[in-house]
Amino acid sequence: MSERFTQTGTVILLHRRDKLRDQKALAERTLRNPNITVRFNTRLTEIKSGAPGVYQKVASVALENTITGEKDEKAADAVFIFVGSLPQIPAVEGLALDEAGYIVTDQRMETSIIRE
């Protein structure tokens, strides 16, 4: 794990397929942005923390190539999860949503669903 997965001012975008299928202009702008590196055919399998505690900091992420199955772990400073350009969550019931249809979270990124 010598390579840092994130660097100051750099975003690594993971995409599980071989191309972006979003709006063409948005996809082109993403691919041209020098601060964004896109890793195609890659999925996030685990977010790992560095130390136990109430507010655990992200230390690394486990990745898997969707074609070869090859697994990799990279050091990371943060993880932002964004799935698609339009919210697609009708299968999840009981979540508080904002006016745009996105899931509402608190400062700890917890949703309104209570774990038992």
| Tens of pLDDT, residues 35-86 | 888 999 999 999 888 777 666 788 899 999 999 999 999 888 888 877 666 5
pTM for the model: 0.60
The fraction of the chain above a pLDDT of 90, given in percent, is 22
**Whether residue 11 has pLDDT greater than 90:** no
Residue 44, pLDDT score: 94
What structural domains and CATH numbers belong to the chain?
11-75 (3.50.50.60), 86-116 (no CATH)
State the DSSP string of 53-67.
Answer: SSSPPEEEEEEEETT
Q: Which of 100, 96, 63, 95 lies closest to 79, judged by CA?
A: 63
